[in-house]
Amino acid sequence: MATATEQSKIKDSSYFSSRLRQNVDQLMDILSAGGLDNPLDAIEQCSYLLFLRLLTEKDEALASLDRRYKSIFSGPWARFSWGSFVTLAGDELFNVVHDAIEKLHELPGLMDTGKLLFSRATLKIRDLATLHTVVRSIDELDLAAHDGHDFKLDTYDYLLSKLSASSARGPFRTPRHIIDLVTALVDPQPGQRICDPACGTAEFLTSAFNHILRRHTKATDLKRGLTDGALLKPAQWKFLEQEAFTGFESNAGLVKLASFNLHLHQLEQAHIFELNPLTTGFGTYPGRLFDVMLGSHPFSSSMLDEDILPDLNYKLGTRATELLFLKWFIDHLAPNGRAGVIVPNGVLFEPANAAASLRQLLLMECDLQAVISFPNGVFTSNSGAAALIFQRGRSTRSVWFYDLRADGFSPDDQRTPVEANDIPDLLAKWPRREEGPNSHRVAMERIHENGWSLVADRYRPAATTVADQETPMDILNDVLKLESEIILRLNALLLQISGKK
């Protein structure tokens, strides 16, 4: 039972988060009315302005602590500090903000994430009144920490959630609680090199960072809502800040958002590259290996044969990006390295040679420890997805299947919070791979006998399926999953007939 003080802090935290969400909603409405109706563009412009404000505040704080400190906004750069233009309006404001955004990547002393954020940056808010209102709105945001809680992170995380309405992979954006679940199952540790080959806005990377901090924070501080990583040693901190995190992303706009997200998490030296690792190599394949790999590719698409790295596609012979993505994970995982990857359901059962061969490769070269099936509604624009948790170093002996039927949110497009949530049960059963109504273990031999299929229902014990105990939601979910599997199998068959695979 929470104490009165803890309950008060929870209430205050909810109040501040709710107020910030309202402010972010208003900010996005202002930008949309002003002509920026693409959420990716709107969030990019907010990121530029938020960065300028926070960099100025950090610069002023350092100056107040040390009289010898030389401001980063000195000389010709002084006009770009937040306080120098926040009170301006009209053309004067437009000209200063325009110049700041286009030139800031040249600012002496700017960290790598800042340079990446402002690389080829332009001001897209052309309406003067809108620009003035946006600058004032960002200036009025209460981003100070309250009771040790950093609301800057909450604000930006909520801002990134607006990408769900964007064409830039928005419908396939992985919800934060699902990202944190996969990260918890993989359990990254200090001193490990962590990679997301399709990092988007770097949410898997920041989740891994937060996970490590929580695991190295005193229990008493965690109870107070503080996550500071105080138990980490100096060498571990240095490695986290300089070496631990690598991300690849082919979308230039998402690279900018990723760089600012990492900046907010004090990971200014993380390694983010604007490229597609399925088409761009690093010396002799596979090149660099990673101890932990996290990522999500919950949709199906295809590439041109000539664009794919030959070594990646060797003996696979596919143009399906979801298969190539999983293959990249396997190839770049260091010995004893652990991975968590979200893939579309078709990867689990498609009969095509490439898909079946890849499942066999995964099971033979890695220890596939779990297949977690997600409920419909988690990803709004596909036919279902699942997470694969595996470790490099030995072949699979058995696979633990868990059918996550409820994730704490309604399965409709609104995704409102509900009581039904299997995630606590999953996490409780995970350490010992316990069986139950939603989970069961399957020996490698049975999977081999079934054509390397990783569909949980194929192996579900009959005793655990009792019709009169199923809820209407369970029945509907089962019907939707069956329908999705039928559609995917028919699509695969059509592709085979047409000779595209």
Quickly list H helices, 76-150.
Answer: 82-85, 90-103, 112-117, 128-140
Q: Is residue 250 part of a domain?
A: yes
Residue 168 has pLDDT above 60, yes or no: no
Are 65 and 214 contained in the same domain? Answer: no
Residue 53: closest CA among 4, 100, 108: 100
Q: Is residue 445 part of a domain?
A: yes
Are 74 and 210 contained in the same domain? Answer: no
Question: What is the rounded distance in angstroms from the CA atom of residue 117 to the CA atom of residue 255?
Answer: 8
pLDDT digits (tens, 9 = 90+) for 414-434: 788 899 999 999 999 999 999
Q: Is residue 416 part of a domain?
A: yes
Residue 495 has pLDDT above 80, yes or no: no
CATH code for position 297: 3.40.50.150
Residue 488 has pLDDT above 80, yes or no: no
Are 320 and 201 contained in the same domain? Answer: yes
CB 373 within 8 A of CB 384: yes
Lowest mean pLDDT among 36-50, 437-451, 484-498: 484-498
Residue 481 has pLDDT above 80, yes or no: no
For residues 97-121, average pLDDT: 94
Among the candidates 162, 179, 205, a domain finishes at 162
Are 75 and 24 contained in the same domain? Answer: yes
More confident residue, 9 or 61: 61
Q: Is residue 1 part of a domain?
A: no
Q: Indicate the length of the chain as a whole number.
A: 501
Per-residue tokens: 185: 């199952």
Q: Give the pLDDT confidence score for residue 435 in this predicted structure.
A: 96
Residue 272: closest CA among 249, 253, 291: 249
Give pairs for 156-159: CB < 8 Å, separation 24+.
156/50, 156/260, 156/261, 156/264, 158/20, 158/21, 158/24, 159/24, 159/28, 159/43, 159/46
**Structural domain tally of the chain?**
2
Q: Cis before residue 39, ω within 30 degrees of 0?
A: no
Query: Which residue segment(s) compose the domain that 97 sits in?
Result: 8-162
More confident residue, 472 or 227: 227
Q: Is residue 202 part of a domain?
A: yes
Are 182 and 67 contained in the same domain? Answer: no
pLDDT digits (tens, 9 = 90+) for 2-16: 333 333 333 344 545
Are 177 and 154 contained in the same domain? Answer: no
Distances in Å between the alpha carbon of 389 and those of 12, 290, 306?
37, 15, 31
Question: What is the rounded distance in angstroms from the CA atom of residue 118 to the CA atom of residue 103?
Answer: 8
Are 206 and 351 contained in the same domain? Answer: yes
Q: Is residue 226 part of a domain?
A: yes
CB 410 within 8 A of CB 326: no
Q: Give the pLDDT confidence score for residue 501 in this predicted structure.
A: 46
Among the candidates 128, 145, 162, a domain finishes at 162
Q: Is residue 3 part of a domain?
A: no
Q: Is residue 2 part of a domain?
A: no
Q: What is the mean pLDDT of the chain?
A: 88
Are 356 and 390 contained in the same domain? Answer: yes
Q: Cα angle vertex 249, ends 244, 253, to 5°?
A: 120
Are 322 and 203 contained in the same domain? Answer: yes
Residue 275: closest CA among 198, 339, 201, 351: 198
Are 158 and 172 contained in the same domain? Answer: no
Among the candidates 136, 162, 188, a domain finishes at 162
pLDDT digits (tens, 9 = 90+) for 286-295: 999 999 999 9
Question: What is the rounded distance in angstroms from the CA atom of residue 305 to the CA atom of residue 317?
Answer: 9
Are 52 and 153 contained in the same domain? Answer: yes
Residue 240: closest CA among 219, 222, 261, 265: 265
Are 286 and 383 contained in the same domain? Answer: yes
CATH code for position 36: 1.20.1260.30
Task: Please report which confidence band the pLDDT of residue 62 belongs to, taking 50, 70 and 90 as the band edges.
Answer: very high
pLDDT digits (tens, 9 = 90+) for 198-222: 999 999 999 999 999 999 999 999 9
